[in-house]
Structure 1
Amino acid sequence: MVVDELRNLLLGGRAGEGRESAIPSCDEISLPLPTDYIEMVAKIGSDFSIDKKLIVKGPGVIDRFFPQSQRDLEYIHKNTGFFVRGGEILPAGFSGSGAEWISFSNLVCWAEDDSGRKLFWERVGNPDGWRIVATDCVAKFARYEITATDYLYKLLRRSLFCSVFTSSRWPDPDRIQVIFHRVDSG
């Protein structure tokens, strides 16, 4: 399973840093979450950063802060969405042939870095079918029809090139460092 392979890649086979259950009860979370993400949190942990670069949010943090990420995008783009084509976010007011509209109200941020680049789920249909959207929130955009765990595993193994996150120096699959964070999501 990809979650087990991801765990081995991130933790070298050891379990997540023994904490209480990271998943609040279903009554406490207003969003449904993809099954692979829930399994990742159960097997690896939540609220962790990879190489002090990419922060994977826990369920409580996602649930509490996803509306703010949507408002941030609306503020940046002065709109409720944007048109994308060929890995680019198109200028406001331009759509053109082959452009696709992405509504910010469908995006839920589940990971980000300190440079403003974010990973979103595009909430259309069943949570287990949500697409992954990677963006720098200004100009670059990439969409993947894979699960969050597939995306992370392939990105970190460098078998997936993401124009938003992959660089010549990151990630380095031989030097992955994981740090767990204690986050108050309430």
Structure 2
Amino acid sequence: MQKTGLLFGSFNPIHIGHLALANYVLEYAPFDEVWFVVSPQNPLKNSEDLAPAQHRLAMTNLAINAEPRFKSSDIEFSMPVPSYTLNTLQRLNELHPTHDFSLIIGSDNLINIDRWHNFRTLLQEHSLLVYPRPEYPIEKAVIALPKSVNVLNAPMLDISSTLIRKGLKEKKNLRFLLPAGVYDYILQHRLYQQKKE
């Protein structure tokens, strides 16, 4: 069985924090591969600043092309929107029976997991790896953690896509917070520019 970590996200845009986390779990979880599952629309997030899904997938592919154990997945592009993680996991298991999938989530998501679609089934049927996020201690989780949840002692990087989008709107050069090629892609396609009044 191929041990595969699944990092779901809008990747709006993908940044060096995503890659550092994926690198860490690849080596320390350990996994054979980490897949970046690009979500067209997270049901718990505002879609106002969301770049088109194909652009986010293209930026993800640019970001990961130097590491053959990183893969991108657009599986949710052909599924109903909004995309629910449990449905995607079930579909991935059907399509890839030789993979042993684990979901990688931040402690911010764990604390709010009771807001997820069918979260009890998700926790019963799938293994989760949780990485720490600043200001979201795991002790704040509203549910008792089952054995399927493992907490990683991963380094905390306080970089967010929100911070990057805000900086780009303010015409900041944030090239080194983004993987190689992604900053130029954003400029070329005029993503995250200030909206015209």
Using structure 2 for the length normalisation, give the TM-score.
0.27
Query: Which is richer in helix?
Result: 2
**TM-score, length basis structure 1:** 0.28
- Normalized per residue, which structure has more strand? 1
